Amino acid sequence: MDEMSNTYRFLPYIPEPKRTNEWIYEIKQLVNLHNQDNISRTMAYQKFFLLHPEIKWSFLASMVSRNAGWNMTDLKGDIFTRLLHPATRDDLFMTYERANWSIFQDAFPQLLLYHYSTRYKKKMFHLFKEFHISSFMEEEWNRYWVERDDHRLVHSLIINEQHLIQGPVIEHEVFKKRVFGSTLFFIEDHLHFSSVLFPTLEGELLGASVHGFRKIENRILLGNKLFTILFHPDHHSSFLNFALQVEHTGSRRDYEQYCKGVPETNTPMLHQAYDDVPHHWKTHTDWSIKKKMNKDWYKEQGLPHGIELTKWFFHKQRQLEKVANVKDGLKKIWKRDRKKKRPTP
C-alpha cells in the first residue's frame, strides 16, 4: 500500500468558487468523518502531517493521540479491570475520549482551512470564527502565513489545545469530582495522565512525564518537551518509521511486540473494547479573550534528560500488576472470612 498516495487522496478536492456557507458545510463534513473515535483521529493527524510536513504539530498530535488510545484500552486490560470499579473505568475512558474529541474538533478545521488556503494560495483563516476557533489561533495562523515560523505555530497550538480542554474536561463538574478530584492515589502517577511514550521499531520507549497534570502550565510544558523529543534529529526518523509501519489499533501490543523480554499487558484493540461515543458542545467561549500569554510558553528547550522510559515504564506495569494481585488476594480473604461468619441453618 502506498502510504503517500493514500495520504494525498484523504482530503478531497473542493472547487474554489464556493460560497462561505458551502465551505463551512464541506469542512464540517470532513471533521465529522475523521472525528469518529481515537483511531480515526490519530490517522487523520498522521496523514495530514505526511501531506504537510511543515505543520509539525500534526505529527505530535498523532503520537499523543496514540497514547490516548493505549490509555483507553488499558482500562479494559487484565490489570485495571482488577484494580478499578467499572464505573470508575467508564469515567476515566470518557475523560480521555472527551479530551481527544474536543482537541480534534477544534484543531482539525484549522488544519483543513490551512490545507485549502495553500491549495488556492488564498488565506481562509477568517472562517475560523464559524468553527468557534479562538481569536488567538486566527492571529497565529495569519502570522505563520507570513513568517513561516513552524516552531512558534507548534507552541501556539499546544497552548490553544490545553486551554481548550481546561473548562469542558479538566474543570467539568463531573470529571472534576469523579476523576480529578478522586482520592485514588494512582490517578496521576499510575494511569499515565502525565506521561507520553514514543515507541520505536527497535523496542525503545522514549518520552516525558510531568506532575500536576491539572495545571495548564504543566501540560503546556509537557507538550513542548514532547515536541523537542519527537523532532530531535537523533530520534525523529525512528518515531516516523514506527508510525508509518505500525497500524494504530489502540492496543499496547502495537509497540510491545518490539520490546524484548517484557510481558504483554494484554490490552484489547480499541474497536473491540469501545463503541463510538456521540459528543457535542453546549456552549462555546473564546478562552483567549481574557487570558494573558506567558512568554515562557514559547521558550525553545533542549533535549530533556531521562527520556529513555523503557525500563521505567515496564517496571511501573509490574508494580501495578502486583497491586492488582494483592487486591485479588484480599478479596479472597474477605470472601472466605465472610463465608465463615455466616450462621449455619
pLDDT digits (tens, 9 = 90+) for 29-49: 999 999 999 999 999 999 999
SS3 199: strand
Q: Number of helices (H) and strands (E) in the chain: give both, helices first.
A: 14, 2
Distance (Å, whole) CA 67 – CA 44 = 15
Among candidate residues 178, 152, 159, 177, the one with its CA nearest the CA of residue 89: 178
Write the single-letter amino acid at 116: Y
Burial 160-180 (b: 16+ CB within 10 A, else e): bbbbbbbebbbebeebeebbb
pLDDT tier at 185, thresholds 50, 70, 90: very low
Q: What is the mean pLDDT of residues 88-106?
A: 93
Distance (Å, whole) CA 252 – CA 340 = 42
Q: What is the mean pLDDT of residues 206-225?
A: 90
Q: Give the cell for residue 118.
A: 495553500
pLDDT of residue 339: 65
The residues, any chain, with a CB within 8 Å of residue 66's CB and separated by 6 or more, are 42, 243, 248, 254
pLDDT digits (tens, 9 = 90+) for 251-287: 999 999 999 888 788 899 999 999 999 998 778 889 9
SS3 206: strand
Q: Residue 279, class by beta-carbon neighbours within 10 Å (0-12 exposed, 13-18 middle, 19+ buried)?
A: middle
- Backbone phi, psi, residue 205, to 5°: -120, 110
The domain limits of the chain are 3-310
Among candidate residues 99, 85, 94, 108, the one with its CA nearest the CA of residue 30: 108
pLDDT tier at 183, thresholds 50, 70, 90: very low
- pLDDT exceeds cutoff 80 at 294: yes
Positive or negative: CA dihedral 249, 4, 55, 244: positive
Distance (Å, whole) CA 320 – CA 323 = 5
pLDDT tier at 139, thresholds 50, 70, 90: very high
Mean pLDDT of the chain: 88
